[in-house]
Structure 1
Amino acid sequence: MSDKLRAGDAVEWNSHGGTAKGKVKKKLTSRTMIKGHQVAASPDNPEYLVETASGAQAAHKPGALRKAKPA
């Protein structure tokens, strides 16, 4: 995917358990801690904070995400 993702967009990505779905919370452009892990995001290497329906959060690179149809 590209920088066309925005907060609130429904997205999906491949996960070890199959396809995961969630919503973009925000674009990360600086180092951030998520679940005890440091996300090395920067303006030149952004990542997206996504949240699943169950409230789990993770950061993903733009190429790992694809827009999904809203549920």
Structure 2
Amino acid sequence: MPKTFKRGDHVSWNSEAGRVRGHILRVHTGDVDYKGHVHHASADDPQYEIKSDKTDHVAMHKGRALRLLKS
């Protein structure tokens, strides 16, 4: 079973620039068109929309790419 997170959770993930931290803005449980690409999601395997703590960059990731951080 994939990890599940909720809106507001503080998480981190790997990017090309290294480890990034941010807060979950939205949880998508259906396919979503994001930046010109369809990201597949379901209730059992959602996609998470996350805003970086340091920049205004918003990323989309599955739960398996995220780590929950202590607030």
What is the TM-score when the length of structure 2 is the normalising length?
0.82
1:16 alignment partner in structure 2 = 16
Counterpart Cα distance in 1 of 2:24 and 2:12: 10
Residue-by-residue CA offset, 1:18-38 (whole Å, 9 max, x unaligned)? 101111112110011112221
Counterpart Cα distance in 2 of 1:2 and 1:45: 9
Native 8 Å contact 2:45 2:63 kept in 1:
no
Structure 1 residues not aligned, in runs of 5+: none
1:31 alignment partner in structure 2 = 31
| 3-state secondary structure, aligned to 1:51 | strand
2:3 alignment partner in structure 1 = 2
Matches within 5 A, 1:37-52: 37-52=37-52
Question: Which letter does structure 1 place at the counterpart of 2:60?
Answer: A
Q: CA deviation at 1:44?
A: 2.7
Greater than 2 Å deviation, 4+ residue runs: none
- Please tell me the root mean square deviation across aligned C-alpha atoms, in Å: 1.5
Native 8 Å contact 1:13 1:21 kept in 2:
yes
Structure 2 residues not aligned, in runs of 5+: none
Question: Which letter does structure 2 place at the counterpart of 1:68?
Answer: L
| 3-state secondary structure, aligned to 1:63 | helix
* 17 and 43 in structure 1: CA distance in 2 versus 1, 3 angstrom threshold: same
